[in-house]
Chains A and B, each alone.
Chain A
């Protein structure tokens, strides 16, 4: 788990990005470029949960909770849906804002995430500039800077 250095001005929001594909991770980071304050990266579901629950390598010194979790669905070991369920079932993390970023447009994925109380479901579309503008549009809602709406 590497903590990426904060870029330029540092707004308050700390973001945990859970993503296994380095290219996708880079694109996501590019999209978050001047939005997030501190960006943390987990490469699979187990790493993400270790961090969030203060287990494994984080056992000695539990880190503070992030403001936002950006979660991919297709992950090694523990997939996104399982991570989301674990977070929602634990009172310590039940309130966390979790946004699913995925390339899937399958109805069952969307439905499953909604049922688990996902904050938002955003498709990682191929057209990167469209994706970036979508992230920018929704960012205030994800970080609590705008009223949440479903």
Chain B
């Protein structure tokens, strides 16, 4: 199978397999088949169906190229799939999720932020690209040497898109997971990548196979590919490492920030409390204050003292930013207050405050709700004794503060810009952690938001349980946060500084894209560089190949032209030869005939005038004329053998040999010579020419056995493979094997003319005939013993020929 086709089919199989697994997972209730792991979005049934449709259509196109039904299937599937993807893209972007996408499969309701079993807009966009590529795909990918840009372009875009999404998964930061839209499933991304590779491979132009690189070229390509894979692995690994490092660094930074802010806030709080206590101490052991308080709190208050005291605490309230300062007697009756309004004192608070008298020291009243106006207050109770810090209790001073004035703003303030960072102040109340301040995302949280101590994932709970240091958890909003907790010394408070993990990882996301972009650029660069290298090598290779082919083509063209020229020349020569032979046949004989004829007439008509020598000389003239005639006849026969066509047929060789022998041998020889030619195999040849072969061989055998008393001619035959082999042996005078090479030449003779007559052409004719049939001749002789001539002819008709 060709490589391109293999890639297409592998991609098709992978994407169809993933889709089928997802559908099976939905059907049989094995969700792990549709998602890669817990915590990931599963592949929607609609996505799986469209993937199966595309993969099936592309597979059919590749396996049954050029078939009409495959073509129709592909076009219909691509058109339908593209439109369906477009519709789902619009719906999914508008967050409209239709039930039909489940295809009737049992899909459980989503537990997370998104409904399950619906297509992500990213997936829909990718499927649209896949559909467009399929629509324009070549009818027969293996035969298209031209690129199909309208198929290749969307396929390449899809390769890039699914590759980026896959990278995002690999780097643990999948696309859209924190956005408002459904993210593409991991299995979907993998299946899309496989499908895109298949489509790109199908749309890629096929190179002419005859120009395919040889083994060395393939090895080099493999080496380059390996280098590229190694480089890619290195780049990916380095990217991953750098990203993880940065991630670590970024988390440490966040932790450090949270820790520093917590430290700052705690010190601020501690200082604030100390200031308040010092402020209270300014009343507690101040003899001047006591000097005024004593008469003011007596059963008969001194008006002047009251007036002075009123002025003191009023100015103190105003400058120290207290909400209210009130002077109460031990029974809790308010003697004076600043501001001097008619607000009724909080009786519960007063009740609580009286217990402070027993403790004889300045006491912090922690965050409480002020009953009359429902506001939140902090309080300081300063007991007043008749002696500074000792003696009978005279009453107490109640200083109340509104935390919204200074405390909350200072807690809310974050020293560097952040969109989610905040500080929580918590105290333990029974088995609950109570939020004391207003929060960034919940202004009414103070004294209202409480968590059971079971909720250990909450940083506030961890804080009140005495755990200090950095941690991650889920805060009051249910949002994952990074936090730092610690206790505020000298108080019932615990401090939590926290920041959304999303904010912590925000620079990471930026960094991730930077990393991915950098890696993509590096990969492209590496691929491009290696591709350039390969191309240069390949170009050199093709150039050599083309040059070689060009040379061959030129040589071939030259050869063809030469063959054509030679053929014309040869045809001319043959025609000339024919004309020549025809002329010879007619004109060369006429003078011979005149010589012979008139010499004969001379011998006859002037017999009386000539003596015996005259007659002998005339006989020599006539004999030579006749011999010349015989030579011409044989020469013409020989030349005719070159010119005439073969009219082959099946030949009964035993019958033919016997018939020819009887024609060649004289009546006396038929009596005197023992002849045997039985059981010869049949041959395939031109009967008239084969007759000539027998005739010449028998004539030779008879001629050269004439001087021997025992005259014998034996013809034997056998079949050897495709050839029938015949041997004519005689008991004649034989010949010296040393001269066998001269035997079959024209006009070559091994005997003197006065021993044996003949033109010396007979065996040349035999050889020419046998060779024209595709056979061979050979001769074996022993002087005085005899000679054997062997020749071969085709035993049967060649394939496809009919025996006539």
Contact = CB atoms under 8 A, between A and B. Distances in A.
A33 to B, nearest CB: 11
B601 A126 contact: no
B597 A103 contact: no
Given A30-B601, A126-B625, A127-B626, A103 B582 contact: no
A106 interface: yes
Contacts of A21: 590
A103 B601 contact: no
Interface string A1-26: 00000000000000000000101100
Contact of B590 (A103, A105, A131): A103
Query: B597, B629, B636: which has the most chain A beta carbons within 10 Å?
Result: B597
Interface in A51-89: 73-74
Contact of B600 (A24, A103, A129): A129
A102 B582 CA distance: 12
Contact of A103 (B593, B598, B625, B628): B593
B250 to A, nearest CB: 107
B589 interface: yes
Interface string B581-613: 010011101111110111011000000000000
Interface string A97-111: 000001111100000
Contacts of A30: 597, 601
A43 B629 CA distance: 25
Given A106-B582, A106-B585, A126 B598 contact: no
Nearest to B592: A126
A30 B633 CA distance: 25
B596 A127 contact: yes
A128 B597 contact: yes
Given A126-B592, A127-B626, A27 B586 contact: no
Contacts of A102: 586
Nearest to B583: A74
A77 B598 CA distance: 28
Contacts of B592: 126
B626 A74 contact: no
Nearest to A105: B585
Contacts of B598: 23, 27
Interface in A112-144: 124-129, 131
A127 B593 CA distance: 7
Contacts of A27: 593-594, 597-598
B602 to A, nearest CB: 11
Contact of B589 (A103, A106, A129): A103
Given A125-B629, A126-B629, A129-B600, A104 B585 contact: yes
Contact of A128 (B596, B628, B633): B596
Query: A104, A105, A128, A131: which has the most chain B beta carbons within 10 Å?
Result: A128
Contacts of B636: 105
Nearest to B600: A128
A74 B582 CA distance: 11
Given A30-B601, A128-B597, 18 more contacts: A23-B597, A27-B597, A73-B586, A74-B586, A74-B587, A102-B586, A103-B585, A103-B589, A104-B585, A105-B585, A106-B582, A106-B585, A125-B629, A126-B589, A126-B628, A127-B596, A127-B626, A127-B629
